[in-house]
Structure 1
Amino acid sequence: MSQHHYAQGPEDLATLDIVLSKTGLEFMQDIVDGRIAGPPIGQALGFRPIIAEEGMVTFEGTPEFRTMNPLGTVHGGWYGTILDSCMACAIQTMLKAGQIYTTLEYKVNIIRPIPIGTTVHAVGRVQHSGRSTGVSNGEIRGKEDGRLYATGSTTCIIMDGPKG
């Protein structure tokens, strides 16, 4: 296994040809294992995928001072971004080579504030993966204490990628 790393510029991101040549599960496992650079949003917000299995992806993250809102708590956008990532990537693990997807809509329910510096796991699990749509749910829980901080759900559209 290689060390997880993030794309530092557009040239570091996987090309569309690479994405389309792999199943969604292979692509996600390549990011987890460091064979393909992770997206820069993860570096910016302090999270990364640590597990990718068929129908399930786990991200690990630790909100820091830079993720706070003016009231001194973790911004709701941080919850939304890590949940969108784990839930949509779970759907990605169900894709065949040649398919792509994108988030159509997602919902977040914040249960309680995550204390700054608390490491959490955001786990997305597929509920449905069909020909044109995927639906998954997610949870953010404390890595150490297992406390539930937020839940979410998403619907993604699944498409055939562009042909050569």
Structure 2
Amino acid sequence: MEPLLTPRFTLTRLAEHDWPFFLQLRQDAGIMRYMSEIAPAEAIRAQFEHRLQPWVPGAAHPLDFIIRAHGDDTPLGHIGLRHGEQGPDVAEVGYTVAVAAQGRGVAGEALRALCEFAFRHTPIQLLKAVIVAENSASGRVLEKNGFRRTAVIKESYPLHGRVYDDWVYQLAREG
């Protein structure tokens, strides 16, 4: 699969050499505070390997990319989509950005490219994102990219000894 290009970033398919960065993201307490508990390295490795499989629209495993600035091999973040139980025309998006790269528009620009790819090159008709309600920064990224909050799921996500509301966002293919 060809990389996805934005004005500032190159999104390349997740590859074996991205393992140290993927592990670093998944073990960073600041990044994981709105995602999940930090899993043991073996469990993170299993998630990583699942994501390395070849992808076709409708696949049960995610399509993942690593975000890098043009001409720089330093990974800045991770973004991807996966189909759920709703069939090949619906996918959920997710992203993480390294702490050092946060606040610079990395997630938003990468999300725009991922949405354009999904709607132009796959049968996906609807993209969704589910975030912990207190993750307002992620909510702003989604809204700036045209996603609209469509539901609040009360007390649905146990995390770090608390139970959080989830916000559900959606973006439909135009036309």
Give TM-score scaled by structure 2 length.
0.34
Structure with the bigger RCO (C-alpha within 8 Å, sep 6+) is 1
Give TM-score scaled by structure 1 length.
0.35
Structure holding more helix per residue: 2
